[in-house]
Amino acid sequence: MGRLSCEVVAVGTELLLGQIVDTNSSWIGEQLALAGVDSYYQTKVGDNPDRIKRVLEQALDRSDFVIVCGGLGPTQDDLTRDVIAEVMGAELVTDEGLVERISAIFGGRNHPMPSNNLRQALVPVGAEVLSVMPGTAPGLKAVIHGKTLYAVPGVPWEMKQMVFEDILPNIRAKAGITSIIRSKTLRTWGESESGLAEKLAGEIERLDREGGATIAFLASGIEGLKVRITVKGDSESEVESILNSEAEIVSSILGDEIIFSFDDQTIEAVILGLCRERNLTLGVAESLTGGLIGSRITSIPGSSDVFKGSIVAYSGDVKRTVLGVPDIPAVSQEAVEAMVAGACSVLHADIAAAVTGEAGPNPVEEEVGRVWMATSVGGVVQSNSVKWPFDRERIRQFTTITVLNTLRLRLEKET
Amino acid sequence: MGRLSCEVVAVGTELLLGQIVDTNSSWIGEQLALAGVDSYYQTKVGDNPDRIKRVLEQALDRSDFVIVCGGLGPTQDDLTRDVIAEVMGAELVTDEGLVERISAIFGGRNHPMPSNNLRQALVPVGAEVLSVMPGTAPGLKAVIHGKTLYAVPGVPWEMKQMVFEDILPNIRAKAGITSIIRSKTLRTWGESESGLAEKLAGEIERLDREGGATIAFLASGIEGLKVRITVKGDSESEVESILNSEAEIVSSILGDEIIFSFDDQTIEAVILGLCRERNLTLGVAESLTGGLIGSRITSIPGSSDVFKGSIVAYSGDVKRTVLGVPDIPAVSQEAVEAMVAGACSVLHADIAAAVTGEAGPNPVEEEVGRVWMATSVGGVVQSNSVKWPFDRERIRQFTTITVLNTLRLRLEKET
């Protein structure tokens, strides 16, 4: 038996019109890869029965499994059920068990059930209802000419639960896949993608030759530059052990300066953890980022036990009156050092980070992209400057992750 | 001649694996719709020459125009050029004009050109190079069995410029499309999607009957709830006039309280504009949003002439010492009113907004979702409270747009 493959079909005119980006197919594709299932095609088709039918027939012809996503809702536009019945050459009949389940959901919400929802209880004769049903739209499964078709609703949380708990285990069992695939993501900052690739070239070549793991890079803006190690194996314990030893090899090559987390944590989460361990409070003073640094830190639940706050000093007089910055050019070493000292004292914070710079597009004092950053740890202020060749949004994002990474390194070394 | 259609093929194994979401196809789909071109299918296929070939042949069979996106880079994985030559039954030859253009780009950047980039100068005999070429990857155009195939690189900004300036005008001319489609997006806040639909139900029914325009809703989180009016017509002036009169009808039904912009502007941009007109400076004091309000405002270029800054007072002592909030519960009317007054005086701002609340997941003082908001305009402080039934991120986002919309209404009415 050759390797079996699965393809994904997304149904919905709104997907073709670009009103909604089809993130469902991408997520299913990722899950198939992690489940060890090959996948060669993904198709989007509008709410047209003839075209949906042609796409499904072709998919069943060239792949062993097909997951069709969307078009299972209660309205007349939801055609997937009808088309599957046609492809099967079967009638649609009302499934009384489903009527009860759907009615119970509406009863449980104290809402009368719209009669439209009864459409969702129609099942082609010979098809099965998926046992996992998180919402009011049932998933379907049908074997057609020896191939298996799964239909799931387009609502992401309903779709994901069905795929994860029902469809993937089913495909793996039918395809005889017993191996498992796991990834570990190391996050880095301070080295370009090509720089990382160069440092890891020898190890990547060794893996190409000897197998065991694969390494991939993913630039992720303010989230850092990710290094993903992927391992395929027969048992959870085997895969875990290979992943961990490969992560050690990669980290010994790249060094801890570059790697800020081994478990896909954000830089903000890492800093909050370091502060918590050391019982330190954190303050921020920001100009060009305008609140982005504070916003990122506070996006993490529980940040309030470490984070005191941020002085967003966008105007010169706020820098002077609130932070005590002297009357000097705002984008300068002296200014950023005064800002970080001001953040510590005004916010009563043990450590602090500060940034000032020109985000563009119209520079006020300095060339666009010029940024000064400072950190204060143990009362010692350090500062440095970067000239970013980017647009406004990336200048703000890269400044945020850069100053936080500097703060991390100082916390790790000096405290 | 029936209506001609165009389909989109995206090439790249990373798209199938879900490492990258295929936003290019969505964007092209949207542009095709706006250009009046029908589009029935979109396909994603990996970097495999046989499968790319089968997908392209099928697309050329069932559609009149095909745009294939990706796989035009300089590496061995970039196979689109080769496959197109195969589909055409033509040889790939080096285009000397392209060699010069590509070399010039590298010369202009003072970098030696990697020899790989010469692959990008290969063109199938009989195909044309698109005249628009923003990067180093040339776009291609080939007529195959009477159908037209366009190939564009996967780099979004290069792709978009080629599609917009070259391919869409070309398809419209070939398909004899003279009608144009334009949309106008009104942004709203303060009414649910079903509430908007209910208010506009009569008008939507009238349009269904009489034609002229269509109305669609799009919930967009912190960007507001969008009402999109779309009109198709024969001339720019005709379409503009229908759009404007329909926008007037919609706004007379919904009212200015709900609609905060008529041209898809963000609430931040609207507020900056109102402040600029009135020569007012703006300050913010934020607790649960942690800098998000300031970050949103400063994401807009030129905000520095209005925005003074934000005091992110995440801890109670910062509320007291920096903003002068008395020693009272932090999530309360008295606290938020003291915060907004503090923002005005500390930041020397004419007007201000302030928010405090419980973003969860673990409440400190109040139930999760309880938020107090205040605005100060002309020295008059007003406040109100909301209990959001959402998760942390949505609580922060909805709080941001809600307090800014309140500020907008007061600016419009009171200043």
**Residue numbers in B near A15 (CB within 8 A):** 26, 29, 42
**Residue numbers in A near B315 (CB within 8 A):** 281, 304, 307-309, 347
Long-range contacts of B317-320 (CB under 8 A, 24+ apart): B317/A308, B317/A348, B318/A308, B318/A309, B318/A347, B318/A348, B319/B287, B319/B356
Q: What is the pLDDT of residues A115-173, one digit of tens each?
A: 777 888 999 999 999 999 988 889 999 999 999 999 999 999 999 999 999 999 999 99
CB contact under 8 A, A284 and B312: yes
Distance in Å, alpha carbon of B42 to nearest chain A alpha carbon: 5
Q: Which two three-digit tokens encode residue B412?
A: 């419009």
* A241 and chain B in contact, CB less than 8 A: no
Distance CA A371, CA A367 (A): 9
* B42 and chain A in contact, CB less than 8 A: yes
* A37 and chain B in contact, CB less than 8 A: no
Residue with tokens 């919402």: A135
DSSP-assigned letters across all residues of B295-314: HHHHTSTTGGGTEEEEEEE-
Distance in Å, alpha carbon of A139 to nearest chain B alpha carbon: 22
Q: Which domains are assigned to chain A?
A: 6-174 (3.40.980.10), 180-261 (3.30.70.2860), 267-414 (3.90.950.20)
ipTM of the complex: 0.84
Q: Looking at residues B148-159, what average pLDDT do you find? A: 95
Task: Name the more confident of A219 and B333.
Answer: B333
Q: What is the pLDDT of residues A43-77, one digit of tens each?
A: 999 999 999 999 999 999 999 999 999 999 888 88
CB contact under 8 A, A29 and B48: no
CB contact under 8 A, A304 and B312: no
**Residue numbers in B near A291 (CB within 8 A):** 284, 286, 290-298, 310, 312
**Residue numbers in B near A364 (CB within 8 A):** 304
Distance in Å, alpha carbon of A325 to nearest chain B alpha carbon: 14
Distance CA A381, CA A363 (A): 27
Nearest Cβ partner for B290 among A55, A288, A298: A298
Chains A–B, number of C-beta pairs less than 8 Å apart: 241
**Residue numbers in A near B288 (CB within 8 A):** 298
The maximal CA–CA distance of chain B, rounded, in angstroms, is 81
Nearest CA in chain B to A311: B311
Task: Name the more confident of B323 and B221.
Answer: B323
Query: With bands split at pLDDT 50, 70 and 90, how would you rate the model's confidence at B3?
Result: confident
* Residue A11: Cβ within 10 Å count: 27
pTM: 0.85
CB contact under 8 A, A39 and B51: no
CB contact under 8 A, A346 and B39: no
Give A113's DSSP letter: P
In degrees rounded to 5, what are phi and psi of residue B2?
-70, 180
Q: What is the pLDDT of residues A240-273, one digit of tens each?
A: 999 999 999 999 999 988 999 999 999 999 999 9
Distance CA A364, CA B394 (A): 35
**Residue numbers in B near A218 (CB within 8 A):** 19
Q: Does residue B109 sit in helix, strand or coil?
A: coil
